Copies of this chain bind each other. A is one copy, B any other.
Amino acid sequence: MYRAVVTVKLKKGVLNPEGRTILRALNFLGYKEVKDVNTFKCIELFIEDEDRDKVMKRVEEMCKKLLTNPVIHDYEIELEKLD
């Protein structure tokens, strides 16, 4: 069993309106020390397989087919073996 965490971030240059909204709200609430905010999403997958290379390859495929939009997203995959 593997635990995979896919971190999906917007590419540099793509506007993040959610982050911008949080930044404005925090500044408005008095947290003036906050200078920038980004948000990103993580997807945690539990995968029943013992072959690390195969798991990595399949998760890459899932990212391309379903989990991310390659036009606007960058992604990173972390794998962790579970007992």
A interface residue numbers (CB < 8 A to B): 1, 7, 19, 22, 25-26, 29, 31, 33-49, 55, 58, 62, 65-67
Contact = CB atoms under 8 A, between A and B. Distances in A.
B45 A42 contact: no
A48 B35 CA distance: 7
Given A39-B41, A41-B41, A41-B42, A67 B22 contact: yes
B42 A40 contact: yes
Contact of A66 (B19, B22, B43, B49): B22
A38 B5 CA distance: 9
Contacts of A31: 58, 62
A44 B33 contact: no
